[in-house]
Every structure is written in structure tokens, then in C-alpha cells.
Amino acid sequence: MYKVVIIDDEPIIVEGLTRSIHWEDFECEVIGSAYSGEEGLRLLEELKPNIVFSDIRMPRMDGLTMIAAVKSRFPDMEVSILTGFQDFEYARQAIVLGVTRFLVKPSKMDELQEAVATMAKNLQAKGISPNGAEDAASQEAGLQEGDLNEGELKEESEASSFLVNNALKYMEEHYQEKLKLQDVADQVYVSQWHLSKLLNRYKGQSFSDILNNIRIEKAKELLNDPALRIGDIAEKVGFLDMAHFSRVFKRQTGMSANEFRNNLK
């Protein structure tokens, strides 16, 4: 049987979907449910289902972020959105991330059944059978671009790009803090190993190099203010060690912070 997980912050929706659809008709079985994005992501990582029904707006985690985290690691996983929000931008982003169906609550039974049937058909087309189905865990363990077809590659790429952009946005907003790779990975709900791999793939740089680039660009802006001491600027942009700031600044710009400031005059 194909494994199904349902994620929604309304228990009545979870219960209704679980009971109203004749899952066995589609060779499916509901093996778990969750009531928040964070809980849902943990459940998906633990159970590795083939099919997911999820709300798109839930407490503590945006459904799109959860879907991107899952699709980036498990591109074969079939996902349908069930939401009360008729938001075109959310729908567009969900489709880009590889969501199979975007259903607006309340959905008719035939719409739900069609979504289940389509997701099961898509799994079969990928060579994943309901009996002894290759679960999503094997995808992550040996995920190689050569093993994915063009559609799966596009879904994985879109989801990974979405995660990278969210990670970079968080770094831009929090560069002044004592930021670690794990802090950023937690914000996009993937492991620090996975985020490090994505940053290298899409930006061609390590986390520390990207963070240093952001900090040095901010420092260059602050050097326009002669009232600010260089030591204060280094601290403002997140460097706790003045010597480290000096080394990074010279490596990035080819000159010291003092020389850079003098060239501004």
C-alpha cells in the first residue's frame, strides 16, 4: 500500500480526510497525521510516506517551507495542498515546488479522490509500486542527479532554490548576530549538512564565505560614516574579533578597511 500522511492544524479536517476517502480503493493507507508544520516535517522525516496532504498555512511554519524542505530531499514524494486560502501567489509557488494538486477548502469528494488517484498514478509512472514500494528514504540515501528524470530534477531544483533563497534572506537579516550554519538550517527546516550542500551547489561558496561576504558589504557601507570607528563597524556587522575582520576585509577587497575608507574621500 502507498503510505499517506495528512497534515492540517484543524483536527476535524484530518479526521474527515482519514475517514471519508476509501483509501484502499487507491491502494493507499493513512499511516500518520500531524497538526502543525513542524510536527508534520518531523513525521515526514520519520515515516517517509509516498503521499502527503497538507495545509499551506499553519502555526509556526509556513506550509510552502515545509514542502520545499521535503521536496528538496525527497523529490518523488507526491504532495497535494488543501487550504482555505484562495491566494494566487501561494498557489503559484506551490505549483513551482512540484505540488500535484492545489485544493481549496471545502473540497468536493470527487476532487479529493481525483487528487489521490493522480498521485498514485504519478508514483506508478516513477516506478514506485504500492506493493513493496520503494520508499522516500532510499531516494535521500542515494540521491544522484543521474537517477532522476527531467521532471523530478526540476522539482528538486525548484525546492532547493526556494530553500537557498530563504536561507540567504535570513542571513541578510541576521548577519549581525553570532550566526551558525545550524541556526540558518533550523530556519529552513533541513539539516546543516543538507543546507551546506545546497549553498555550495547554488552559490558556489561555503556558508562562512557567504556570511563573510554579507558582513563585508555591510561594513563597506558603514565606512562611509567617518564618525564610526573601524572597531565599532567590525562589531556592528557581526565580527567579534578585530583581527579576523581585518583579515577577511583585506581578502575580500584587496585593501585594509582604513585604505578603503581613505579611497572614499
Choose the weakest-confidence range: 134-148, 151-165, 182-196: 134-148
Percent of the chain with pLDDT over 90: 52
Residue 141: the pLDDT is 45
Give the span between the Cα atoms of 216 and 176, in whole angstroms.
11
Residue 150: the pLDDT is 61
pLDDT: which is higher, 130 or 132? 130
Residue 58: the pLDDT is 73
Mean pLDDT, the chain, rounded, equals 86
Residue 115: the pLDDT is 93
Q: Would you say residue 98 has pLDDT above 70?
A: yes
Q: What is the pLDDT of residues 218-247, one digit of tens each?
A: 999 999 998 999 999 999 999 989 999 999
Q: Helices (H), strands (E): how many in the chain?
A: 13, 7
Task: Dig out the grid coordinates for 262 from the structure.
Answer: 581613505
pLDDT: which is higher, 172 or 148? 172
Residue 130: the pLDDT is 83
Q: Would you say residue 89 has pLDDT above 50?
A: yes
Residue 171: the pLDDT is 97
Residue 138: the pLDDT is 47
Residue 136: the pLDDT is 47
Q: Would you say residue 135 has pLDDT above 50?
A: no
Residue 180: the pLDDT is 95
For residue 79, give the H/E element and its range. Answer: strand 78-83
Angle made by CA atoms 53, 183, 10, in degrees to the nearest 5? 25
Give the span between the Cα atoms of 34 and 14, in whole angstroms.
8
Per-residue pLDDT, averaged over 57-85, amounts to 81
Q: What is the pLDDT of residues 144-163, one digit of tens each?
A: 444 555 665 666 788 888 88
β-strands 28-34, 2-7 pairing: parallel
